[in-house]
């Protein structure tokens, strides 16, 4: 049975897109039946070009990606979510979305990342920040994929995801 993971951020243009790309890419490489989705509470309607560039440079196909609302994951046709991860940086005073699922409560965890689009140093500074964020996200997603997702209880899964957040 596929484990569906929803990654949320405010605008669904950078960090959540990097997370979706990395989790799907790593799951496929490891042969894990995990499917990542991303969405935002106030989607910008566009993907940050530096996020797309960082994913493409890592060999990840992004043509099907788009900025979308979390509303797409609340209806009866939405995939049954096992995990919801918020990736906005609350320290930067962003409004971080709260998710209420209609199909049983998924395990919810916060893995905050600073917004790489605010990096200094012009385009090169932003490129560097997006690549470093992609790598940091990839490290956590790899840890998630190494968990025995099918056999963990919800409290065990939450504890494991919170431990990854501290790594």
Q: What is the pLDDT of residues 117-142, one digit of tens each?
A: 999 999 999 999 999 999 999 999 99
Confidence of residue 90 (pLDDT cuts 50, 70, 90): low
Phi, psi of 142 (to 5 degrees): -65, -40
What is the pTM for the complete model shown?
A: 0.92
pLDDT at 49 over 60: yes
Catalytic residues: 9, 88, 96
- Residue 35 confidence (pLDDT): 98
pLDDT at 95 over 80: no
Confidence of residue 104 (pLDDT cuts 50, 70, 90): low
Distance CA 69, CA 144 (A): 24
- Residue 76 confidence (pLDDT): 80
Sign of the dihedral through C-alpha 88, 25, 134, 50: negative
Q: Can you tell me whether residue 20 is helix, strand or coil?
A: helix
């Amino acid at each position: 049975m596929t484990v569906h993971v929803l990654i949320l951020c405010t605008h669904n243009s950078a960090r959540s897109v990097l997370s979706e790309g990395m989790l799907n890419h790593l799951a496929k490489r490891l042969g894990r039946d995990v499917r990542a989705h991303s969405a935002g509470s106030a989607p910008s309607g566009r993907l940050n070009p530096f996020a797309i560039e960082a994913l493409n440079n890592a060999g990840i196909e992004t043509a099907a990606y788009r900025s979308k609302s979390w509303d797409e994951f609340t209806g009866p046709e939405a995939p049954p979510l096992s995990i919801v991860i918020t990736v906005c940086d609350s320290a930067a005073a962003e409004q971080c979305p709260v998710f209420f699922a209609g199909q049983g409560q998924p395990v919810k965890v916060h893995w905050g990342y600073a917004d790489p689009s605010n990096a200094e140093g012009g385009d090169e500074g932003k490129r560097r920040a997006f690549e470093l964020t992609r790598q940091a996200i990839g490290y956590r997603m790899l840890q998630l994929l190494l968990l025995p997702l099918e056999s963990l209880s919800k409290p065990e899964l939450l504890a494991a995801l919170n431990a990854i957040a501290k790594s």
